[in-house]
Each structure stands twice: as structure tokens, then as C-alpha cells.
A and B are shown apart, each in its own frame.
Chain A
């Protein structure tokens, strides 16, 4: 074989190599495109499922909250209003919990433990005696126990347990004071009182937002966290009135 023929043969080999590399590169590119397309599909599916899961959580929590409310004809949509007030106050305070579902779940479920309180105590028109009051106060711990193993509720469980604590430590069930009380529970305390004062109850008529503000302000540093009260005082009447209207019983 002459030099020229050897050269030609080398060129043929190189061409074949080049062609093979070209085919490999094409195959690799198609394979990567397939990976990218699977990844995009998986991502979309995962996003849709996360949304579905969140929707089921919300529906489940609302159903449970409604079950508690259904028993008490007077409070009506109390839990929904408290949740809306609470989130608005948290927003005014710049708390990130305003954007998290767990705080809202806690607000909605705060009284879930009342399912274990007998009608004779829950609806007793006269003042409760010592034993009855002790049982009534246990609704905080009972609620926490009902929910304790539900992991998606997270911080919501702390709200359920601590929603009757007071800033000065005179509340129940644990007698926590100041910042030892979970912040969502401190926010809840103001929202709960606001709703109690501004809705009609069998023993008294509803109060306007102005007088309710004064009562809450007077309890700053005793019943309520001063920071929560300060944020609450800065909120517009219009915002609070809108919530009251939108969730009217």
C-alpha cells in the first residue's frame, strides 16, 4: 500500500469516527432533552399536588372548626372572624406568620377542645363554680391533645393550647407570661377579645369598634402583649369593620 493509499484509508477512518461522534452527540442531546421534559412534567405535577394537599388541609381544618361552632348558636362564625382579625393584626406587626397557614389554622381551631366540655357547663347561664371552671379551662389542653399528632398543624397546636394565656402570667393552662407565650397566641388574645366585644351575646348587646379599642388598650401589658396592642391601635376601623361584615354570623 502506497503512501497515498494509506492516507486515504486514514481519512476514511477519520470520517467514520467523525460520523460516529456526530451520532453519539445527537443521541446524547436527545436523551438530555428527554430528561428535561420529564423534569418539567414532574415539577408541574408536584406543584399541582402540593396545591391539592394544601387545599385539603384547609378544608379539613375548616370542617373541624365548623363542627365546633355548630354546637354553639351564639358564637356563629366567631372562629372565622378571629382568624381574619388575627391575620390582619399579624400583618400590621410585620410578622411572617401572617403568610403562614399554620397561624390561621390555630386561630380557626382554638376552641376545638370544647367538644369535650358538657353542655351543662358550656351553656350554663349562671356563673361556673370552681370545679366547673377548672373543667372549662381544660378545653385548651384537651384541644392540644386532640391535635398533638397532626404534624401539618405545627404552630397551630401552640395557639390552641396557649390562647387563654395572659401577658402578665395570670392566664391558663400553663401560666406563661410575656414572650414565653407563643406570638400567635398573643395576637389571638387581642383578636378574640375584639370579636367578643363587637358581636352580640345573650348577656349584652354588641359594642362599636371605638369602645372595644378603649377596653383593649386599657389591658395592654396586663392581659395583652403591648406590641400587639400597639399594632392593633394603628389599624383602620374600615379594615376591622370590613372583616366583621364579611364574616357576619
Chain B
């Protein structure tokens, strides 16, 4: 089976790299990174991810906007990365988000989430 694409979208390169490193040895995943909503849409169109981690606060196109436009063309599982205290759940759900991971997120929760996805099993 070919690798499944996971798209990691966050304007902080540190957080992107941390998530990518955490998921590097989990199953057969093609990990892609984007720094903002616009870049995320381009990569999503090119690589058709099954899972997208989406930060909320980003330059150019923010997470809510990117989520809405992504949802229009993709049935990927969209996980919003929300900072503590952000009251965006309703808005994000309305934009088509499936799950929420609040920052600072637990790496174990991250792994469990990815492990539970159809077609993605920890190796």
C-alpha cells in the first residue's frame, strides 16, 4: 500500500518539525509541511492528504479559512491545533473541522489519534 499523506500546517517551524518528528516512525506516512493556509491548500491539491493538522493563527490565510476551503474539495480528517483559551471550536466545526488538539498538545494523544485512523497503523 502506498504511503498516506499527512499535512502539517503551522507558522512555527519548530512545532511543524516536532509533529513531523513524532510521526516519523508511525506507519507508512508521507509527511508534508506548510507554513500558512495558502501553502496548505497548494500542497493538499497536489498530494491529497488523508489527515491535516491545522494551526488556527497563521499569516496570509488562517486555519479557519483554510479549513473551510479545504473541506470544499477534500474529505481528509482535519485536526485543528488550538491554543489554550481559544474559543474557536464552534467556528472551526462550522468550517468543517473534525477534531481538536489543544496546545501544548500531548504527543501520546497525537500518536493515538494517528494510530486510530483507517489505513494507518503504528509499525
Nearest residue (CB) in B for A41 is B108
B77-118 CB contact bits vs A (8 Å, 1 = yes)? 000000100000000000000000001111110000000000
Is the pair B107, A27 in contact by a Cβ cutoff of 8 Å?
Answer: no
Cβ of A174 within 8 Å of any chain B Cβ, yes or no, is: no
Question: In the complex, A165 Cα to B5 Cα: how many Å?
Answer: 59
State in angstroms the CA–CA spacing of A64 and B17 once bound together.
51
* CB closest residue in chain A, given B110: A38
Tell me the chain B residues, 1-49 only, with Cβ under 8 Å from chain A: 12, 14-15, 18
Q: Cβ of A31 and Cβ of B105 under 8 Å apart?
A: yes
Q: Given the complex, which residues of B lie within 8 Å of A41, measured CB to CB?
A: 108
Judge whether A27 and B104 touch: CB under 8 Å: yes
Contact in complex: B12, A27 (CB < 8 Å): yes
Closest chain A CB from B57 CB (angstroms): 10
A-B contact count (CB 8 A): 31
A24 and B12 contact, CB distance less than 8 A:
yes
Whether the Cβ atoms of B103 and A27 lie closer than 8 Å is yes
What count of chain B residues pass the 8 Å CB interface test? Answer: 11
Contact of B12 with A34 in the complex, beta carbons under 8 Å: no
Q: Which residues of A contact B12 (CB under 8 A)?
A: 24, 27-28
Which of B83, B103, B107 is the one whose CB lies under 8 Å from A35?
A: B107
Q: Is the CB of A31 within 8 A of B18?
A: yes
Q: Which residues of the partner chain A approach B18 to less than 8 Å between Cβ atoms?
A: 31, 35
Is A91 in contact with chain B by the CB < 8 A criterion? no
- Cβ contacts A40-75/B at 8 Å (1 or 0 each): 011000000000000000000000000000000000
Chain A positions 16-34 with a Cβ under 8 Å from a chain B Cβ: 24, 27-28, 30-31, 33-34
B22 to chain A: closest residue by CB: A35
By the criterion CB–CB under 8 Å, are A31 and B106 in contact? no
> Please, how many angstroms separate the alpha-carbon atoms of A189 and B7 in the complex?
63
Tell me if A38 and B107 are in contact (CB < 8 A).
Answer: yes
CB-based contact B108/A42 at 8 Å: yes
* Residues in A lying within 8 Å of B, measured CB to CB: 24, 27-28, 30-31, 33-35, 38-39, 41-42
B→A interface (CB under 8 Å): 12, 14-15, 18, 83, 103-108
